[in-house]
Structure 1
Amino acid sequence: MCNQSSFPFIGSLGSSATFSFEVFHQYGKLPMENFHRKKSFNIIECKKKKPLSTILPTSPKPTTQKLGSGMLLWKNYISLSDQVEIVNICQEFGAGPLGFYKPSHRNGAKLRFRLMCFGREWDPVREYCQYGHTTTPLIPDYFCSLVKTSIQDSQVYLNSKHEIPMISPDVCIVKFYTKTGQRAFHQDRGEGNRSRGWPVVSISIGDSAQFIYGHTKNVHKADKVLLESGDVLIFGGMLRHIYHGVKRIIPNSAPLPLLEHTMLKRGRLNLSLTKF
């Protein structure tokens, strides 16, 4: 569900969308705040930007690390100028009524990140994706282009294109982690795309994160890799079912030019795009 226009826009609000949220709430017994935002959240500091006389420095040349069959890490893939654009888009929508919120478990406990979605509404507890008429913004075409380009570039390094098949994403899950943020070690289980091997394209902006992954749910046997600002991690094919999570955020590790040009808060902005 990519926006084919030059600018992202918000879909119309209809009674059918509200009704579907209510029905799902009753069926799944999830907190309604997982769908309705009570107040906006800014990912940038609420300060007036200072005029910048310097241009953004040139980003290092991208390099690749193959982490497995169907799992590839691009280091420095997103340029600083593109990172600034991504932050600006996420702030524009994230501060609105359909923007960032803090999701809850069934028992009311809060998850350790803020969340918003493009394309489809997604709930992190049941990994449920809302189909049909929703109120979520369409995925900016800018994001979809990054997905297409990163997969095409990745397929050059693979034995087969089936390891990371091409997709047109229909959901973009945006999370913002503060310095104490985490994502529990888990396996994506609510998505039909796992059986098809459709990949996840994960973009990291801001502070670095220690990402853990493994073939079993034993977190003590998990491998780990550092995801830094501008990195893109892609996993699909046979490794689409892999267990993964964010163990910790590395405070004060974001590139200073990025912070100066965006006023991004200390923390990690993560975009995960895939097809359900």
Structure 2
Amino acid sequence: MVLMKNYISSDDQASIVNICRDLGIGDGGFYQPGYDGGRKMNLQMMCLGKNWDPDTNMYTELRRSDNTKPPEIHPKFHDIVTKAIQDANDFIRVNGASSDEGRGLPSMSPDICIVNFYSEIGSLGLHQDKSESEESLKKGVPVVSFSIGDAADFSYGETRAVGKADKVILESGDVLIFGGESRLVYHAVTGIDPDTVPKSLREATGMRPGRLNLTFRKY
């Protein structure tokens, strides 16, 4: 599990916001997901590549609520993900974070991205990302997470016990990668820190208050 602070450049952060905005207003764009019982999640979501259904915890080609097909993952996102995994593995090797030679984060070309937008009151409870294929999970193919906009209070741990979770602040431009033995780590967004979006990003994009989070996976 590797956190790279301020990894995404200001220009790339602005590009990510603008790309997500353009995709988000089209077919398969942002919506508020919910469950069959009527309860809604406390965020706006858009899926790229494949649609994730929060009620079934399964991926589908079309979104059940409106039968729309998710947009494709933008090539710029692929480039950042590839470089981030390479740089994370360089860090692991240099710092001896893995005791066994050859170990590290498996390479990945993502075919799924879940884009969440949290308002200033948004949150997401402790959960595991485990809807991907058995093969992907077994190999520990990583999840790569981009944070853009307002900072978030992020909790993570080996169990669902909230009181035992570690905490870190994810700020705009940070990239968090968890794979290998940490692939099924429990994690949560417990709060959004208002008025923390970088001034340069707000001026370049007109981004509304909140946090944009992109998590890339391999099915």
TM-score (norm 1): 0.72
What is the CA–CA distance in structure 1 between the aligned matches of 2:204 and 2:80, rounded to whole Å? 21
Structure 2: where are the runs of 5+ without partners? 63-67, 93-97
Indicate which of 104, 107, 110 corresponds to 2:40.
110
Q: Which residue of 1 aligns with 2:177?
A: 234
State the 1:129 CA deviation.
1.2
Structure 2 residue 116 is matched with structure 1 residue 182: no
What is the CA–CA distance in structure 1 between the aligned matches of 2:21 and 2:212, rounded to whole Å? 11
What is the CA–CA distance in structure 1 between the aligned matches of 2:121 and 2:102, rounded to whole Å? 37
What is the CA–CA distance in structure 2 between the aligned matches of 1:107 and 1:131, rounded to whole Å? 23
Q: Which residue of 2 aligns with 1:171?
A: 112
Superposition pairs of residues 197-212 of structure 1, within 5 angstroms: 197-212=140-155
Superposition pairs of residues 84-163 of structure 1, within 5 angstroms: 84-131=14-61, 135-158=69-92, 159=98, 162-163=103-104
CA contact (8 A) 2:27 2:69 kept: no
CA contact (8 A) 2:48 2:70 kept: yes
What is the CA–CA distance in structure 1 between the aligned matches of 2:115 and 2:54, rounded to whole Å? 11
SS of equivalent to 2:144:
strand
Superposition pairs of residues 255-274 of structure 1, within 5 angstroms: 255-274=198-217
What is the CA–CA distance in structure 2 between the aligned matches of 1:183 and 1:174, rounded to whole Å? 13
CA contact (8 A) 2:153 2:189 kept: yes
**Structure 1 residues 165 and 201 mapped into 2: Cα distance closer, same or farther (>3 Å)?**
same
State the 1:123 CA deviation.
1.7
CA contact (8 A) 1:209 1:250 kept: yes
TM-score (norm 2): 0.90
What is the CA–CA distance in structure 1 between the aligned matches of 2:55 and 2:196, rounded to whole Å? 29
Larger C-alpha radius of gyration, 1 or 2?
A: 1
Moved more, 248-257 or 122-131: 122-131
CA contact (8 A) 2:61 2:70 kept: no
CA contact (8 A) 2:8 2:173 kept: yes
Identity across matched positions, percent: 47
Count matched residues: 205
State the 1:161 CA deviation.
5.4
SS of equivalent to 1:150:
helix
Structure 2 residue 121 is matched with structure 1 residue 191: no
State the 1:98 CA deviation.
1.8
Moved more, 226-235 or 160-169: 160-169
